Structure 1
Amino acid sequence: MEIPLKTIDFSVFEEGKADRLATANIELPGFETLTTEISGAGVMGIIEVPSPGQFASQTLTINWNVIVRQAFSMMKSGQIALEFRSAQQIVDNTSGAVLAEGIKITFRGLSKNSNLGSLAKNESTGGTTELEMTYIKIFIDGVAVLEVDKLAYVFRINGEDQNSDIKKILGY
């Protein structure tokens, strides 16, 4: 069995560019399913019923150490495409071997908010860029484990289409 330990290091690229973005860290989006509250006869109390494959607003945040040119390219109108690569450290609990596994995240989104941060002697600015997610695909060691494309009605976990029944009903 492998036990995940930590992120060793990561890099961020704009799609089609070789230069890495000079980021402090990235806050990846969460996956909150939209729900409807039901109550009434035959229901003891209240139940929030999830809507399959329907997610609330999802924001990715780039945290910058200082003001850099790359932060301004994230303010443009239209789609922004990024690729994240991460090396994660894991340990094999049977052999004790410490290993690395690769994570790749392909992300597309729209510029939502930019904050330049503040200026203070000997400190980072703490600037941020927020992008509204429209697409994400996550690979672990080259195997796709999650894909969500909000504009193409795609929601796959480990290659399995989570919305296949709904898409069939809707004529997709």
Structure 2
Amino acid sequence: MGNPIPEKVVNYNVYDDTEKLVGISGEVTLPNLEAMSETVSGAGILGEFDSVNPGHFGSLTIEIAFRTLFQKSFSLMRNRGKSLVLRAAQQSFDVSNGTISHRGLKITLKYQPKGLELGKLAVGAATESKNTLEVLYIKIEENGKTMLELDKLNFVYIVDGEDVLQSIKKLI
């Protein structure tokens, strides 16, 4: 295969452990990874810069929007120790031979419920309810290869197959 151009997500499903969640709207808002940092300034430094603390991130949240308010919105509000799994098919176009290919994307999350936006009631319209979940663990795999694994409670931070905290773990 030549140099494929990533195009889009063809489709996806969301699972609460093994049970497929139904009634999800067109999109799920994934967490934003923003590293925790400390501003460094002083003698010999021209100004200041933010020094990133490896593996430490601010709050990670995911938002799952539902078309209507129903039982599943409330079951996600219970902290039952289950995982949430998003499975997607991503599409690429190979310029060299003019073919389309697909890659599997799997995102596994462990979470705590953070909020439930009940939405609105209107005749002939969706309620647009939304669950907000605090992510404690996230693992992103593409075609079975781990791209990211972050476990905030077990000191795990792996990026593109590299254990970023390996040397730190040996010291503490």
**What one-letter code is carried by the residue in structure 2 that aligns with 1:130?**
T
Query: Contact conserved, 1:83 with 1:105, CA < 8 A, in 2?
Result: yes
Q: Is the 8 A contact 1:64 1:127 kept in 2?
A: yes
Q: Report the equivalent of 2:164.
A: 162
Structure 1 CA distance for aligned equivalents of residues 81 and 112 of structure 2: 5
List gaps (5 residues or longer) in structure 2. none
* Structure 1 position 45, deviation (Å): 1.3
Q: Is 1:153 equivalent to 2:120 in the alignment?
A: no
Task: Quote the offset at 1:122 in angstroms.
Answer: 2.5
RMSD of aligned alpha carbons: 1.2
Q: 2:11 aligns with which of 9, 12, 22?
A: 9
Q: State the alpha-carbon separation in 2 of the partners of residues 79 and 60 from structure 1.
A: 16
Sequence identity (%):
34
Deviations 1:115-156 (A, max 9, x none): 110112222212111111111111111111111111110001
- In the alignment, the residues of structure 1 paired with residue 85 and residue 103 of structure 2 have an alpha-carbon distance, to the nearest angstrom, of 17
Unaligned runs of 5+ in 1: none
Q: Which position in structure 2 is the counterpart of 1:133?
A: 135
Contact 2:21 2:72 in 1 (8 A): no
Give the Å deviation of 1:98. Answer: 1.0
Aligned pair 1:23/2:27, yes or no?
Answer: no
2:21 partner amino acid: R
Contact 1:89 1:99 in 2 (8 A): yes
**In structure 2, C-alpha distance between the alignment counterparts of 1:20 and 1:56, rounded to whole Å:** 28
1:27, 1:60 within 8 Å by CA — same for their partners in 2? yes
How far apart are the structure 2 equivalents of 1:169 and 1:63? Answer: 43
Distance 1:129 1:58, change over 3 A: same
Match for residue 63 of structure 1? 65
TM-aligned CA deviation for residue 78 of structure 1: 4.7
Equivalent in the alignment of 2:99: 97
Please tell me whether the aligned partners of residues 150 and 156 of structure 2 are also in contact (alpha carbons under 8 angstroms). yes
TM-score by length of 1: 0.93
| 1:8-56 deviation line (CA, Å, top 9, x unaligned) | 1100011133x33321121111110001011121111121111111111
* Total equivalences in the alignment: 169
Runs of 4 or more above 2 Å deviation:
19-22, 77-80
Correspondences of 1:11-90 after superposition (within 5 Å): 11-17=13-19, 19-24=20-25, 25-90=27-92
Q: C-alpha deviations, 1:74-124, integer Å up to 9, x for none?
A: 111353411110011111111110111110111111000111101122222
